[in-house]
Amino acid sequence: MTEESLISITNITKNYKVGTEIVRALRSVSLTINKNEYVAIMGASGSGKSTLMNILGCLDTPTSGEYILNNHKVSDLSDNELAEIRNKEIGFVFQTFNLLPRSTTLDNVMLPLIYSGIGKAQRWEKAMKVLKSVGLEDRVTHKPNELSGGQRQRVAIARALVNNPSIILADEPTGNLDSKISVEIMGLLEDIHKQGNTIILVTHEDDIAHYAHRIIKLKDGEIETDIQNKDIRKVEIIENEVE
């Protein structure tokens, strides 16, 4: 890895056994992602993008190949070691939000800090800081069913940010949102990137992918194209009111 590299994967393969057949989900994939890059990973169903996301997010391990994340060789780690790396290095934003339904906004955001062993006062301080940064400081006592879809995704983004991870990994972050709220969420991710964060966006939507600065397209388990985006979409106006 170079000095500024954050992710380096080399000849990553992932095979699954389905009945008597072997499905080759990833076929010798190699790529490097540097710190503060904003990368979109695209591909149709069956292209391997979800498998690649799971490996990059340390949710799964490759069949073969090497994965180095922030100078940690994670391709050979145990499940417990992977869980520790996930909590420390990666902030996840999912299409379905994955919030605890009976917990408040504040408690949902503080959760990763509990796993990190951070004290209660510091957890509260860190969580309130990130909730303010996403415009939800007045929703801290609300539970998910008392929030709109856009607000729930903002809670998920705050939770992803609270541990100051190396990577924000956003899997179809606008998939359950209407077009107006989708633009607001992409504007928020744009701001997060401008603050120096590395973002990996997984999407099947071409217009969403074009908010990223680099677009990687997968096909049949291989990288089909990997280009710098010369036509980056910008969010011109982000309304202050939280939807």
The model's pTM is: 0.89
Contacts of 168 (CB under 8 A, 6+ apart): 91, 93, 157, 160, 161, 189, 192, 197, 198, 199, 200
- Express each pLDDT in 26-75 by its tens digit: 999 999 999 999 999 999 988 999 999 999 999 999 999 999 999 889 98
Please state, in angstroms and rounded to a whole number, the distance separating the CA atoms of residues 41 and 29: 13
Please state, in angstroms and rounded to a whole number, the distance separating the CA atoms of residues 64 and 13: 5
Look at residue 241 in the predicted model and tell me its pLDDT.
44
Burial class, 66, CB count within 10 angstroms (exposed 0-12 / middle 13-18 / buried 19+) = middle
- For residue 40, give the DSSP letter: E
Look at residue 201 in the predicted model and tell me its pLDDT.
96
Look at residue 210 in the predicted model and tell me its pLDDT.
95
Check: CB of residue 193 under 8 Å from CB of residue 17. Answer: no
Confidence band for 106, pLDDT divided at 50, 70 and 90: very high
Identify residue 124 by its one-letter amino acid code. W
Burial class, 76, CB count within 10 angstroms (exposed 0-12 / middle 13-18 / buried 19+) = exposed
Nearest to 109 by CA among 160, 68, 62: 160
Check: CB of residue 38 under 8 Å from CB of residue 213. Answer: yes
- Express each pLDDT in 138-192 by its tens digit: 999 999 999 999 999 999 999 999 999 999 999 999 988 998 999 999 999 999 9
Tokens for 241, please give them.
Answer: 């009111």
Look at residue 115 in the predicted model and tell me its pLDDT.
81
Superfamily grouping for domain 36-63+78-228: P-loop containing nucleotide triphosphate hydrolases (3.40.50.300)
Please state, in angstroms and rounded to a whole number, the distance separating the CA atoms of residues 58 and 27: 18
Check: CB of residue 173 under 8 Å from CB of residue 93. Answer: yes
Q: Taking 70 as the threshold, does the pLDDT of residue 239 lie above it?
A: no
Contacts of 204 (CB under 8 A, 6+ apart): 42, 43, 44, 45, 49, 172
> Considering the chain, what is the average pLDDT of its residues?
91
* pLDDT-above-70 percentage for the chain: 95
Nearest to 189 by CA among 213, 219, 222: 213
Neighbours of 233 (CB within 10 A): 15
